Amino acid sequence: MAATGFKDYYAVLGVSRTASADDIKQSFRKLARKYHPDVNPNDKAAEAKFKEVSEAYEVLSDADKRKKYDQYGQYWQQASRAGAGGAYGSPFGGAYGSPSDGGFDFSNYGSFDEFINELLGRFSTTGGGGRSYSYGTPGGSAAGPGFGYDTAGASQSFDQEASIRLTFSEAFHGAQKRLRIGNDSVEVRIPPGAKQGSKIRLKGKGPMNPYSKQPADIYLVVQLDTHSFFKLEGDSLTAEVPITPDEAVLGGKIDVPTPDGSVTMNLPAGIRSGQSLRLRGKGWPSPKGDRGDLLIKVVITPPARLSDTERQLYEQIRTSRTSNPRETLINTQL
């Protein structure tokens, strides 16, 4: 397959890159039955999908082909030909032949990732708790299958993307990170309120554009670690707080954590499990510097153990109860 027609065979079969041969075979059989032309007569889309699935299985079921595919991604076929002594097309135009021809020999590289690193360079951190950073083309994977350029002209974008992992606290409060890009050490300021997928531009820190002779930019894409209590859902900071049955019935005041510390919240009588209460101005920072709201979802949680007194009181409540929350369901049927 040509490099420009690259397909992620693992995605086609719906398996992970560490899938066993049996997993691959099982997934192929399932998809082949689903899209087989006999099952989908005159369905061109199903026929195309069947061919795609078969093509993916042909490569991934063959140990040698799969190894080449894992190493070189979209250029696995060219790498195979190069290993046999042939030259193969370059994703940057021209051709890779033997070193004596001024080209590249894939046999000198352990993987396609190493090949890309030598061409463009990779930047890494000089601190930050051992966090790692990698880059690829915007909208594409990082230096792996699918990575490459065409040579359309001076308008070609050579901007790069890098993933940067932040803790919930770093994203909320902002942080300073020192990165090493090539031979340069760069101090990067992460503004407060970064979210999953947020991008931070490092102007002029990317590879040189051979057409414009100007350095491209690097965009840091935030990967946000999870937190044990808080969650970020869109623009809203949320949290789940357990309450007891008596608190749900009678209401009252409860203490709940916020990013700024514990606050006392009014709990209305008769609140239902799953309802959310809003703490205004206690949520996630916005780019303008103000704060969103914190949504507290209450979950009625029965006690795991009861004292004798508690059990007697609950039994007394049960025998004295006048309401039936399932009354409206009595005549429900299909």
pLDDT in tens, 275-296: 999 999 999 998 888 999 999 9
pTM of the model: 0.52
pLDDT recorded at residue 108: 53
Average pLDDT over residues 293-302: 96
pLDDT recorded at residue 155: 53
3-state secondary structure the chain: CCHHHCCCHHHHHCCCCCCCHHHHHHHHHHHHHHHCCCCCCCCHHHHHHHHHHHHHHHHHCCHHHHHHHHHHHHHHHHHHHHHCCCCEECCCCCEECCHHHCCCCHHHCCCHHHHHHHHHCCCEECCCCCCCCCEECCCCCCCCCCCCCCCCCCCCCCCEEEEEEECHHHHHHCEEEEEEECCEEEEEEECCCCCCCCEEEECCCCCECCCCCCECCEEEEEEECCCCCEEEECCEEEEEEEECHHHHHHCEEEEECCCCCCEEEEECCCCCCCCEEEECCCCCECCCCCECCEEEEEEECCCCCCCHHHHHHHHHHHHHCCCCCCHHHCCCCC
pLDDT in tens, 76-88: 676 655 554 443 3
% of the chain at pLDDT higher than 70 = 73
% of the chain at pLDDT higher than 90 = 41
pLDDT in tens, 190-219: 999 999 999 988 888 888 877 778 888 889
> Which is higher by pLDDT, 89 or 6?
6
Residue 7: is its pLDDT beyond 90? no
pLDDT recorded at residue 135: 36
| Domains, the chain | 121-148+158-226 (2.60.260.20), 230-325 (2.60.260.20)
